[in-house]
Amino acid sequence: MGLSVALQPYNIMIAIVGIVLGIIVGVLPGLGGANGVAILIPITFAMSPTSAVILLACIYWGALYGGGICSILFNIPGEPWAVAVTFDGYPMAKSGRAGKALVLSFLSHGVGAIIGVILLTFFAPIIAEFALRFGPPETAAVMVLTFSAMTRLGGKS
C-alpha cells in the first residue's frame, strides 16, 4: 500500500518539486537541509501528511546534493557534509569533467537516500523498541558518552 501511495502522480510531482527546492536551498552556503526544511514547513500546512513528508524528505535530500554543487564547481563547501566532495569533484571540474562530477554526485546521493530509506524501513521498529526501554540512567550514560566523545575528538581545537 505504501508504494502505491508514493507512486501516485501527485506525490511524484511533490517529490520532484521538493528535490528542486532542496537543490536551491543546498546551493546557498550555510543554509543546509535542516534549515531549508524548517523554512519550507509552512508550505506543507495545506497538504496531506503523506505528501508533506515526501516533500520535506525530498527537500532535505535535494539540499544534500545542492551543497555539493559549490564544492565541485568552486571548491567551496557550503556545508560540512560537502567537504568530501571537494577532494575529487573539484579536481574533476578543473580538468573539464565538471558535468561528470555533478552526475556522479547526484547518483551517489540518490543511491544513498534509497539505501537509507530501505534500512530505516526495516530497522526503525527495532531501534524504536530498544530506545523505548531507555530509562533515566541509560539516557544519562548516553549523554556522558556523547560529551566524552566530543571532548576527546575536539582535542585542542
Average pLDDT, the chain: 90
CA angle 63, 74, 112 (to 5 degrees): 35
**Residue 78: pLDDT above 80?**
no
Question: To the nearest whole percent, how much of the chain has pLDDT over 70?
Answer: 97
- Residue-number span of the structural domain to which 137 is assigned: 2-154
Per-residue confidence band for 157, with pLDDT thresholds at 50, 70 and 90 = low
Number of domains in the chain: 1
For residue range 40-77, what is the model confidence (pLDDT) as tens digits? Answer: 899 899 999 999 999 999 999 999 899 899 899 999 88
Long-range contacts at 76-80 (CB < 8 A, ≥ 24 apart): 76/29, 78/26, 78/27, 78/28, 78/29, 78/30, 78/31, 78/32, 79/26, 79/29, 79/30, 79/32, 79/33
For residue range 9-52, what is the model confidence (pLDDT) as tens digits? Answer: 999 999 999 999 999 999 988 888 899 899 989 989 999 999 99
| pTM reported for the whole predicted model | 0.77
Closest-CA residue to 63 (of 102, 117, 21, 104): 21
